[in-house]
Amino acid sequence: MPRLSAWFVRTSLIYLAIGFTLGAFLLANKGLRLYPQAWTLLPAHIEMLLMGWFVQLAIGVAFWILPRLSGAQPRGNERLTRFAFWLINIGIGMVVIDAFVSAPGLLLAARLVELVGVLVFILVAWKRVKSFSSK
């Protein structure tokens, strides 16, 4: 597995653990009333599991498993893929911060950062998506 795929997959597993734990806390809080404002953390929980775990796991596996290109960069531009990794994770962090502080415009900015990160990965991976019959 390429190092960059390992970054995506390991990061996704960290988000899975944190998101699952946060979800367990939200469910426990529903019955025990530990923290009255706990439901404000629901967007962070969803973000960690969807963008943090699911999307990053898919990107990490795709970066690893898609057919390689011929030439010096068989997996495409790794610098751009690394840039996509950081953009996605910065966006996730911004969404989590917004769950705590609810700053105006922060959620929109976070979604835009994530979108650019995903689009950058798509740009890098696009050439590697081909059928068995194409050469």
- Express each pLDDT in 52-83 by its tens digit: 999 999 999 999 998 888 888 888 899 999 99
Whether 79 and 120 have beta carbons less than 8 Å apart is answered as no
134 is a domain residue: no
Distance (Å, whole) CA 127 – CA 117: 17
133 is a domain residue: no
Q: What is the pLDDT of residues 95-112, one digit of tens each?
A: 999 988 988 999 999 999
135 is a domain residue: no
Evaluate if pTM is beyond 0.95.
no
Q: How many domains does the chain have?
A: 1
Q: Which residue segment(s) compose the domain that 8 sits in?
A: 3-128
- Six-digit token string for 64: 């690893």
User: Any idea how long the chain is?
Assistant: 135
